[in-house]
Structure 1
Amino acid sequence: VLQQVKIHNLEAITLDKSLFSAKMLEGQQALLCGCGCGWTDSTRQMIRCLIKESKVPLVIDADGINVISEHPEWLLEKQCPIILTPHLGEFARLCPEMDDLETAIQTFAERYDVIMVVKGPNTIVYGDHRFYRNTTGNPGMATAGMGDALAGMISSFCGQGYEPLLAAQLGVYLHGLCGDQLYLDHYTVLPHRLIEKIPEMMKRLSNEKDIDWDNKSL
């Protein structure tokens, strides 16, 4: 599978998680884990290692979040900012006894000192004791792999030096904006088409909203 990814996507950097070690973290600017990993013992070992060893922003998605739902106390061992990106089903595993979504998000985020990105209609970002609701996005984006694309965008902004909370906000907004542009002409928005839209929409935002991507300022 990894070889097929390399053939069709030259930009992708792939890693066999069975070969994962703490030494591989050296020289990284940001890390993303959990996408497509499976809810397995090897994923548990990788997540535990990343939380304990990473010194750079860490985005945890998909099965990484499922692992955290079993061991949320691991988050207290972190040495870096952590962004969790659950959809509503994954968040329900993190907080199975929640009565109110916003209260549960705030309680979990502050207990474990993490940034939360809870995906759904008007995706919620919580960090620095504040809620942010996204205004972009549409029903056509409810397709497989869309959350992986978002996690990658947030990770990319972290790797470029954006503060983790701002990286989450920009990633969520830009992700939805690209999806909205595609939804004008397509009933279903596919992740690979959304990714192709990113440079165009970043350029449009820089022209319309005075966003300085290079200096990481709004």
Structure 2
Amino acid sequence: MKIATSKIIRSIDKYCIEKLGIPGIVLMEKAAEKVVKNIPLEETNSFVIVCGNGNNGGDGLAVARQLFCLDKHVEIFMFGINNLSDDCRTNYGIIRNMGIKVNFINGIEDIEILREAIKMCDVTIDAIFGTGLSRKVEGIYDLAITVINESSSNIISIDVPSGFDSDNGIELGNCVQANKTISFQLYKKGFINYNTDRFTGEVIVEDIGIPDIVIDKFHENEFMLDENIIKNKIKAREKYKHKGDFGRVSIVAGNKGFTGAPVIATQAAVRSGAGLVTLCCPSDIQYIVSSKLLEAMTLDIDDREKFENLINKSDAVAIGPGMGNNDKTLTILSHIIEKINCPLIIDADGINVLAGKMNLLKNKNNEIILTPHLGEMSRITGLSIDYIEKNRLEVSKDFASEHGIILVLKGYNTIITDGKVTYINATGNSAMANGGMGDCLTGIVTSFVAQGYKPIEAAYMSVYIHGYCGDRLSQNMYCVNAAHIIDEIPYSISKIAKL
């Protein structure tokens, strides 16, 4: 699923209408059909549809007509008759010719009539503002949105909730709080930001017949991950393959008092299908972690000859979990960056020690994947967490491009980007919000890289699968821990592959 800004949407619409000759009213009719398709008609019989005077309002009028033709009770409320867009005016004319009453909202008295109508209906359909809104909602519009939110039992927004900035996900003064948003063709960029679901509810994106050649002409290589992308990437494990064919993983992790993180990362790598996995750790915790690992090997990281030999033979190396933010971690990281010729995954304290020392990444001999959470991202960029939260896509793409790395910015709608192509993940949930989840993800990413997937593929596949495991488990569990995810990994991979 492709992501777009309001500017891209306008360019696509304009090209379809002016260059291809697809009438805007045709696209509007198709959009209305897809809205109606997503209404549980067997459970709902009465609708209040609140329309603006632009194309979003035109969509609402077309929906009203289609519902009326299905013998549903429909009440239309509209903001004025002046300055209607051309296609909105066409649908308004059809509504009037059919004899369907339109209530105009001009003052407080009309707002009160709207309130009473909403209280009596099954569903309120919001068609006031679309993706083009950039100003603050004020006056009569502000009052109407408040009434919609206060009085509705079920709200469906067309394309975006009215009052929602479709580019950055912020509330423009006041915003409809929809239960469901039916959007069209492209996932709106503002949907990916934190806390936007309190406005959008469930987001459904419907195809309204815009040709791919038009979308590709304006699209900026930003995608939402879905099952089909992952399914098509998972490689079948051929019958006669052996462990040497599925990659050698080295995980450099752990310190005295921090044995959980290295074990979690190592076990995740094993359960994700890597052929041979070795945990490299300090000698004073080696016996502890060894007792917790059945399939993986361990190595004393201070045995320099064996350590050098191991990482030189590895297909992927991960570093950071539980190592501590200290000079030793920095020294080991610097050495690995300079010496290895396979992809490197840097997480946790491996990221923390890079604060103020990002120039070390210039010494790399292969691709590097960084997997920070917001706090770690703040440390290495010098940007505030609040700023990163509000500008995650731009910050991530710029950072990845500047340093020539693949970035996995973890959190709600995790971002995976190399600065050229960007993927947004929608799997995972707050049941997974506990320690060890990042270490688990590191192990999965490293395993997939070692198995021969391109680093960007390994990164987005791992993020999706990690969250997919959590989603499956949370259906029957109040909280999901890293150990649960580790056990679930091979089952979820198999399920996705067979979809």
Shared fold by TM > 0.5?
yes
Q: Tell me the CA shift for residue 206 of structure 1.
A: 0.9
Aligned partner of 1:197 in structure 2 is 488
2:318 is equivalent to residue 27 of structure 1: no
1:158 paired residue among 442, 449, 456:
449
Aligned partner of 2:369 in structure 1 is 83
Q: Distance in 2 between matches of 1:46 and 1:124?
A: 27
| Residues 119-178 of structure 1: CA deviation (Å, up to 9, x unaligned) | 001111012512211010000111101000001000000000100000001100000001
Q: Tell me the CA shift for residue 47 of structure 1.
A: 0.5
Give matches, 1:123-162, under 5 Å: 123-127=414-418, 129-162=420-453
| Residues 83-124 of structure 1: CA deviation (Å, up to 9, x unaligned) | 000001100111113643222211211111000000001111
Aligned partner of 1:62 in structure 2 is 348
Aligned partner of 1:9 in structure 2 is 293
Contact 1:17 1:46 in 2 (8 A): no
Q: Distance in 1 between matches of 2:302 and 2:325?
A: 14
Q: Tell me the CA shift for residue 34 of structure 1.
A: 0.4
Give structure 1 stretches of 5+ with no counterpart.
Answer: 209-218
Percent sequence identity is 38
Aligned length: 208
Give structure 2 stretches of 5+ with no counterpart.
Answer: 1-284
User: Aligned letter for 2:290?
Assistant: K
User: Aligned letter for 2:378?
Assistant: A
Question: Who wins on radius of gyration, i.e. which is larger?
Answer: 2
Q: Distance in 2 between matches of 1:116 and 1:8?
A: 31
Over aligned residues, Cα RMSD in angstroms? 1.4
Q: Which has the higher helix share?
A: 1
Q: Distance in 1 between matches of 2:325 and 2:298?
A: 19
User: Aligned letter for 2:366?
Assistant: C
Aligned partner of 2:498 in structure 1 is 207
Aligned partner of 1:94 in structure 2 is 380
Q: Distance in 2 between matches of 1:89 and 1:168?
A: 20
Q: Tell me the CA shift for residue 23 of structure 1.
A: 3.7
| Residues 1-32 of structure 1: CA deviation (Å, up to 9, x unaligned) | 32122112212333343445544322111000
Contact 2:397 2:419 in 1 (8 A): no
Q: Distance in 2 between matches of 1:131 and 1:26?
A: 30
Q: Identify which of structures 1 and 2 has the higher relative contact order when contacts are C-alpha pairs closer than 8 Å and 6+ apart.
A: 1
SS of the residue 1:15 aligns to? strand
2:327 is equivalent to residue 41 of structure 1: yes
SS of the residue 2:355 aligns to? helix
2:343 is equivalent to residue 52 of structure 1: no
User: Aligned letter for 2:328?
Assistant: S
Q: Distance in 1 between matches of 2:354 and 2:327?
A: 13
SS of the residue 2:369 aligns to? strand
Q: Distance in 1 between matches of 2:431 and 2:404?
A: 33
2:409 is equivalent to residue 118 of structure 1: yes
| Residues 56-104 of structure 1: CA deviation (Å, up to 9, x unaligned) | 0100000000111231000011001000000011001111136432222
Aligned partner of 2:360 in structure 1 is 74
Instruction: Give the TM-score of the pair, scaled to structure 1.
Output: 0.91
